[in-house]
């Protein structure tokens, strides 16, 4: 069941560092409401901060996977 909306980290091209690839694919397809899943964000504005986010997080740097 998907609980993620467009605009959340789950569908952002920058999300997923450290998340196992198979799990990341499932999150990208189905979304996730599991706040125990935490991955890195490689957006240039966030990477130096080593920001860690959940699939439900978001920020103004969102870039859709579909646009990539």
Q: C-beta of 22: minimal distance to ligand SF4 in Å?
A: 19
Tokens of residue 53, six digits:
């986010």
Distance between CA 47 and CA 25 in Å, rounded? 21
Closer CB to ligand SF4, 24 or 53, in the complex = 53
Alpha helices in the chain (DSSP H): 21-30, 44-47
Q: CB of 46 within 8 A of CB of 59? A: yes
Query: Mask: binding to ligand SF4, 1-40, rule CB under 6 A, as x and -?
Result: --------x--x-xx-------------------------
Residues forming contacts to ligand SF4 in the complex (CB under 6 A) are 9, 12, 14-15, 41, 43, 46, 53, 57-59, 61-62
């Amino acid at each position: 069941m998907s609980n993620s909306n467009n605009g959340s980290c789950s569908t952002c091209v920058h999300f997923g560092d450290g998340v196992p690839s198979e799990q990341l694919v499932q999150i990208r397809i189905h979304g996730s409401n599991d706040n125990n899943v935490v991955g890195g964000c490689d957006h240039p504005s966030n990477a130096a901060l080593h920001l860690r986010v959940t699939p439900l997080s978001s920020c103004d740097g969102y870039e859709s996977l579909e646009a990539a």
